[in-house]
Structure 1
């Protein structure tokens, strides 16, 4: 498969991130996919927002959906705005944040939402920094692909991590672009894992990663990534 251009929180350089406008702009630019962040309100609505809090420090998980700013989408509305792109759904479930859910019920709700849609499971890729979250998603719905997000992988830990992800049925590793090496990409490919990196807006780095065989470029500027790919 050709390298996929994944619009990070939509076309977030051109529009406000994680909004319907950003996702629709990503579609118009020709992006292959969009990445978005999922959290949950006090009344159980899945919404798309990166931070656990609003700009005024109110905690989203303590608020009713009706009280949120109007440009915050439900997950369903965001997925509608992303059509026909495939979507990387990042579940936010950090133990250091106020909405942490040790029970992984947010994974249950996300799987329920995706499973009820008509597009088919191949349109979704669920990711999270919390390994338990993607493991739960695999348990509930193995036909939906999953990926582990990480800032970086130490060389001495790489083999164990990659083999573990592959053996558990996960599809991809999502490492931070600044700590991504060619050796890690090669190792992942040797074990059948894809590599989608975040967040790359530098055309020179994009070109280097393309040479290394990167599977997906998650970027705030999908139009730039598409130009770099076209120029190869």
Structure 2
């Protein structure tokens, strides 16, 4: 690799965030298909569990007005309608399937409104439908990074139930060994270790909010002190705690990444995948720093940066009509 950077994986992985949020409606089948056609090592997605026990793909724990619009009730005089704004866990799959997830709400401050191709009529997919897409496109080189959307306020048995539901879907589709389970709530990691021991990885997500003093997100692990959040000793305690919780990968928000953090994570055997990076200059800087993977809304940009640096590119899968790819 150019420069002094070193990766634990001996290559840099390209992760399509919510499929390809910068290019297609996030967390939808078109977004995942587009990412696969461009060529990524991993497609990242978020999941929740419906009232009738179906695993669906959506970023928030409630149907977000940013990415979802009501159309019509699933049945006449449904007292739950409108559905947007209501928790996914309170809605059935039939209710969620009425929502149009193909267009972002217009906003002058949302960069994706300018770069994302609207696809009106796109529905919220189930995790099984995403698996079907991956299998149909024979995307055998692509892993799935599934963020299990829980909250530290949830009882532990509810966290376990969602992890188990995800694990069951992946097992049915024969994709467990290509699955990485992610969580800001580090209880997810322990349940994943128990319920999906053959999964490809367990990813400890961190951001400044979850590292605040007294954080309930880290399953009892003590975060670094705010006076010196990048102190090496404090990071060692945090990383060791993540490993004890079940992590095999650390995934920090981009502003937290420093060479010292990467070096200590690698020393302890943790790969480092950074999120969410959309500017080519920052992608190049992080590659130079030695990260193992980059999560991006713009896989097309990341492929260009990787190609310019002579890094191996992930294969493309599926139709390439109207797709810009290296």
TM-score of the two chains, using structure 1 as the length reference: 0.92
1:53-72, aligned counterparts within 5 Å? 53-54=62-63, 55=65, 56-68=84-96, 69=99, 71-72=123-124
- Point out the structure with the larger helix share: 1
Shift of 1:166: 3.1
Indicate how the Cα distance of structure 1 residues 203 and 130 shifts in structure 2: closer, same or farther if over 3 A, else same: same
Matched residue SS, 1:114: helix
Residues 149-205 of structure 1, C-alpha deviations (whole Å, 9 max, x = no match): 000463243101212333555210010001211110111011110001110001111
- Is residue 2:130 matched to residue 1:78? yes
| Structure-2 residue corresponding to 1:224 | 301
Shift of 1:126: 0.4
**Quick one: distance in 2 between partners of 1:167 and 1:179?**
21
Q: 2:80 maps to which residue?
A: none
Alignment partner, residue 148 of structure 2: 91
**Structure-1 residue corresponding to 2:168:** 112
Match of 1:124 in 2: 179
Unaligned runs of 5+ in 1: none
* Greater displacement, 70-79 / 197-206: 70-79
Say if 1:93 and 1:101, in contact at 8 Å, map to a contact too.
no
1:190 aligns with 2:267: yes
Deviations 1:40-76, CA, capped at 9 Å, x for gaps? 1100100000011222312211111001126101111
Q: Residues 53, 209 of structure 1: CA spacing in aligned structure 2 closer, same or farther, 3 A cutoff?
A: same
Q: Distance in 1 between matches of 2:206 and 2:163?
A: 18
Structure 2 residue aligned with 1:40: 49
Q: Determine the C-alpha separation between the residues in 2 that align with 1:122 and 1:215.
A: 19
Specify the SS of the correspondent of 2:156: coil
User: Contact (CA 8 Å) 2:189, 2:246: kept in 1 or not?
Assistant: no
Instruction: Provide the rounded CA distance (Å) in 1 between the counterparts of 2:146 and 2:52.
Output: 20
Mean Cα deviation higher: 107-116 or 211-220: 107-116
| Greater fraction strand | 1
Pair 1:210 & 2:287 matched: yes
TM-fit CA distance, 1:109: 1.2
Secondary structure at 2:203 match in 1 = strand
Aligned equivalent of 2:18: 9
Q: Which ranges of structure 2 fall in alignment gaps of 5 or more residues?
A: 1-9, 66-83, 101-122, 212-228, 310-326
The CA distance in 2 between the partners of 1:217 and 1:80, in whole Å, is 25
Counterpart for residue 102 of structure 1: 156
Deviation at 1:116, TM superposition (A): 2.2
Contact 1:11 1:26 in 2 (8 A): yes
Of structures 1 and 2, the one with the larger relative CO (CA 8 A, separation 6+) is 2
Greater shift, 221-230 or 161-170, is seen at 161-170
TM-score, normalised relative to structure 2 = 0.67
Displacement of 1:12:
1.0
Q: Aligned with 1:223: secondary structure?
A: helix
| 1:138 counterpart residue number | 193
Summarize deviations over 1:74-113 as a string: whole Å, max 9, x none: 11111233451211010000136xxx45312111111122
Check whether the contact 1:38–1:50 (CA below 8 A) recurs between aligned residues: yes
Tell whether the 8 Å contact from 1:200 to 1:206 is kept in structure 2 after alignment.
Answer: yes
